[in-house]
Structure 1
Amino acid sequence: MAEAGEVEAEVSAGKSPSLPWDLGDAADTAEGHVGTSTLPFRMADITLASPLRADIPMSNGLNTLMREWKFHYKLLRHEWKRTHYVTVLFGFLALILGSVSVELWSGGDAKLTGLEGIMAINGFQFFQMLVSVICWGWFAYQAWMLFPVMRVHAISLLIMWNGMMAAQIMFHRNNPTFPIGFKLSQMMEGTLFLLIVLFFLFFFWKAVVETRDLHVEINHLHQDVRVMEEALAEHSLKGWSAMFGMWVLLIALSSWSGLQHIASYGETNFGFLAVHLLTGLTSVPLLLFILWYPQRMLGNQTSVRTRAALDASLEMSGEELVVRKVGASCPECGAASPLRMNDGGELMHPCLAAGCSTMVAVGTTCTTCSEPMPTRIACPSCGVNAPALDYMPDQEAW
């Protein structure tokens, strides 16, 4: 393909490949790759004032999480605008108006359900419900506009939040004290809803992680594996994944406590309502963070999807994944080298004897003139003497 040829030429010239998904990177600096915008600081620069001692179990992992969370917080404080905070306020308002109603004190009429129950709501309560729906709609619209890369995922996460609530409705329909006194025969519908929600949430997480991996492979291609590892560490999603897990637990607890309060009408038990509000209100800004951070890391024009989805897309479009077959070059100055690798994986170099150009496997002798071929090759441009394998670039897919 023509694009593949351009990629090979760019890699040979020492440039990052300008693939369709070669996007701006939040973790790039002016000294490194140039992205859509540069970071005011890097994750590697973040340190903890009081890290956990090494003798504490799991201290290393916890320190990593706290360091990433500190980086997230500093970056969020630096980059979130007024629009982000207004969106959070609309989410708060939508949740409160939808959760706190006069009917919570009166108990409502349990005999009225569905459309009949909605028609029985008095004017003020109906207006309150309508305003809550409008606020949720505005919240979803703002998430759609603020995070163009995550638009579909923003709507899907809101749907999954409602799906979690639907699962709790199924669980509480025949058992108001769920999970106390549960029966397996009464949990089939709720379990099905819950499994569907968890399935889509898992694939959302997987899509973000695999898109990050692909982003590092494409935008931070380097011959030195240590540099690649540093780039992957700079793009770590451990802290984000932990936050995503917390969000899932919060919406599950919020849904359960809300249904638990509704199921206990007449008992004046507002503890469940308080838990519902606290966990729900915490989930609103956390949802925006979950959408914001991957987009900030990957750029504004990428597509967050799993590798399987990418493979399917390439297959549907008739394209193929190609391996960059870039010629060997000096590891010091980058000058082209005649070193090649044959189909058997052996490194081949033209014979060093004068007047002989036979391709000789490194570490053997020439079959024509018996001149030995050393395992270290001297660069004719800069004179550096390096192992032959160092002249060969890492071959990356895509």
Structure 2
Amino acid sequence: MTTPILLLNAGSSSIKYQVIDADDEDVLASGIIQRIGDESGTIDHTVDGQTFHETRGFPNHGRALTVLVKMFDEHGPALTSVRAVGHRIVHGGSFFNSTTVLTDEVLDRLREVSPLAPLHNPPGLAGVEAAMRSLPDVPHVAIFDTAFFSTLPAEAYTYAIPRELAAEHGIRKYGFHGTSHSYVSRKVAEVLGEPYESFDQIVCHLGNGASISAVRGGEAVEASMGLTPLAGLVMGTRSGDVDPGLHAFLARRLGMSIDDIDTLLNKKSGMLGLSGVTDFRDINELIAEGDADARLALDVYTHRLLSYIGSYIAVLGGVKAITFTAGVGENNPGLRAAIADRLAFLGVTLDAAANDTRSKEPRVISGPDSAITLLVVPTNEELAMARETKEAIGA
């Protein structure tokens, strides 16, 4: 018996997708549609090791899904075998704390919370609606980035603003990248050979978007991202934490609008704003050439990450494991070594050879005498989505 599940991750101008057999967890197909809304969009569809490429206009998500279905019809696997469609939804607001089968009522609720994630939820919903039209005969399921963090205690998710305002508009910390944090934290327990609920850990999801979580006995108790995915760590183009007064300062001093400031902090800041580039390979090359801005950018990034790790160790009262995942976390041994060195006062030691080894397998990179176990665990959000979708439809 097989349970093929189509997984869709719709962004504002792209759709990433995979078909995973949720029983044996094999990837049957994968692909990406890029530049939706552009006359020169592309689709790359990979099946059985072969990639099929097309360039064409995708005026909207509906047209993009039509072409996606056509690629499956022409190159396989047959979508008639798909048992369900799982959709990544960035923000579930306070309504959704677990994976949910999509209904008209659920879609209405998601439209209500769209203002909480104006850059992410609207395109996600456009993808959902287009997919439901293209594949109407199978259940569609929403997997929420915020769900893993529904266990945050009130002291962690509450902002110190008037409580009536917060309650009326759902203003609180939600946390994001939850699917990755859930998958990785559970995988850590497997690697260590210990029950998931038996120890405390910190997960550092370091990609173009970056976040960190504190997990106590299998439940998230702190997260760096907040009401939106802008808060917390320094990211590729996002600033992470800044003084909230910066918005008023920029508006009064430079006459910037709220939209201008939002664009500045989300798309023109972070490593891009500090160094002019976002890829850590480029940053390391610039540092090697003596570029002072790139050096400072990396120092700021490392300092912010270290500050969060330190505060989460305090929140948890100590940790057994600290794990690095996502593109930067998995592929930057220099950053991991810098963090280990700064944590040496806690008894952390690094196995330099293990840290420098490039591998797609989860692994321990700390020394055998380290007081805290350091790990690298490649994330697999699509597999986590497939598992959750299978469970939601009772397959």
TM-score (norm 1): 0.24
| Highest RCO, 1 vs 2 (Cα 8 Å, sep ≥ 6) | 1
Question: Which is richer in helix?
Answer: 1
TM-score (norm 2): 0.25
